Amino acid sequence: MSIFMWWFLISGLLFFFGAAVGSFLNVLIERSIEERNWIRGRSACDFCGHKLAWYDNIPLLSFVFLKGRCRYCRKKIHPSHILMEVLTGVLFVWWFWGGFIILNIFRLVHQPFRFVQPLFWLLVAVLLLVIVVYDLRYLLIPDWTLWLLLSLTLFYRVMLVLGGVMQVEDLVKSLVAAALAAGFLSFLWLITLGKGMGLGDVKLIIPLSLLVSWRLVLLALVGAFIVGAVSSLALLFFGRLKWQKPVPFGPYLVVGFLTVLFFGDQILNWYLSWFML
Ligand SMILES: [Zn+2]
Q: Compute mean pLDDT per 10 residues along the chain, 277 residues long, and list them.
A: 88 95 89 71 80 85 89 89 94 85 62 71 93 88 92 91 88 95 92 78 94 91 91 79 71 92 86 76
What's the CA gap between 169 and 155, in Å, rounded? 16
The answer as to whether 143 is a domain residue is yes
How far is the C-alpha of 6 from the C-alpha of 12, rounded, in Å?
10
Residue 51: strand pairing partners: 44
User: 30 CA distance to ligand 1 centroid (A)?
Assistant: 16
pTM attached to this predicted model: 0.87
Measured in Å, residue 77 CA sits from the centre of ligand 1 at 8
Domain presence at residue 68: yes
Q: Are residues 240 and 176 in the same domain?
A: yes
Q: Distance, CA 52 to ligand 1 centroid (Å)?
A: 9
Distance 240 CA to ligand 1 centre (A): 27
Among residues 108, 124, 148, which one ends one of the domains?
Answer: 108
Does some domain include residue 275? yes
On whether residue 118 sits in a domain, the answer given is no
> Cα of 72 to ligand 1 centre, how many Å?
5
pLDDT recorded at residue 171: 92
142 and 275 inside one domain: yes
Cβ–Cβ < 8 Å for 214, 174: yes
Q: Which residues contact 104 (CB under 8 A, 6 or more apart)?
A: 114, 115, 118
What CA–CA distances, in Å, run from 165 to 44, 99, 112, 129? Answer: 48, 18, 11, 28
Per 3-state DSSP, the chain is made up of helix, strand and coil in percentages (nearest 5) of: 70, 0, 25
User: For residue 3, what are the domain limits?
Assistant: 1-108
Q: Are residues 66 and 183 in the same domain?
A: no
Q: For residue 11, is it within any domain?
A: yes
Same structural domain for residues 241 and 194? yes
User: Total structural domains in the chain?
Assistant: 2
The pairs formed by 213-216 with CB atoms below 8 angstroms and a separation of 24 or more are 213/170, 213/174, 213/264, 214/170, 214/173, 214/174, 214/176, 214/177, 215/264, 215/268, 216/260, 216/261, 216/264, 216/265, 216/268
Looking at the fold, whether 141 and 277 belong to one and the same domain comes out as: yes
Q: At what angle do helices 143-162 and 168-191 cross, to 10 degrees?
A: 160
What gap in Å lies between CA 86 and CA 19, rounded to an integer?
6
Cα separations in angstroms, 162 against 37, 62, 150, 154, 168: 39, 46, 18, 12, 9
The DSSP line for 101-114 is IIIIITT-S-TTHH
Claim to verify: residue 194 and residue 265 sit in the same structural domain = yes
Considering 108, 126, 148, which residue would you say is the last residue of a domain? 108
Residue 135: how many CA atoms within 13 Å on its side-chain side? 25
What separation in Å is there between the alpha carbon of 23 and the centre of ligand 1? 17
State the DSSP string of 184-223: HHHHHHHHTTTSSS-HHHHHHHHHHHHHS-GGGHHHHHHH
Distance 136 CA to ligand 1 centre (A): 23
DSSP single-letter state for residue 166: S
- The verdict on residue 126 lying in a domain is no
Dump pLDDT digits (tens) for 141-182: 889 999 999 999 999 899 889 888 888 999 999 999 999 999
Query: How far is the CA of 181 from the CAs of 85, 204, 220, 252, in angstroms?
Result: 32, 10, 10, 15
184 and 272 share a domain? yes
- CA 17 to centroid of ligand 1, rounded, Å: 26
Considering the domain boundaries, does residue 116 fall inside one? no
Å from CA of 86 to ligand 1 middle = 22
Q: Judging by beta carbons within 10 Å of its beta carbon (0-12, 13-18, 19+), is residue 10 exposed, middle or buried?
A: middle
> Please, which residues have CB within 8 angstroms of residue 57's CB and are 6 or more apart in sequence?
23, 43
Based on the fold, state whether residues 19 and 82 are members of the same structural domain.
Answer: yes
Residues with CB under 5 A from ligand 1 (ion): 45, 47-48, 70, 72-73
Question: Is 163 found in the same domain as 269?
Answer: yes
Cα 76 to ligand 1 centre (Å) = 8
- Measure 78 CA to ligand 1 centroid, in angstroms: 11
At residue 245, the pLDDT reads 64
Asked if residue 218 and residue 155 are part of one domain, the reply reads yes
- Tell me if 210 is assigned to some domain: yes
Q: How far is the CA of 14 from the centre of ligand 1 (A)?
A: 30
104 contacts 118 by C-beta, under 8 angstroms:
yes
Residue 270: per-residue pLDDT: 86
What's the rounded Cα separation, in Å, for the pair 190 and 193? Answer: 5
Q: What integer pLDDT is reported at residue 154 of this predicted model?
A: 94
Q: Tell me, yes or no, whether 75 and 189 share the same domain.
A: no
The residue among 108, 126, 147 that closes a domain is 108
Mark whether 173 and 71 lie in a shared domain. Answer: no
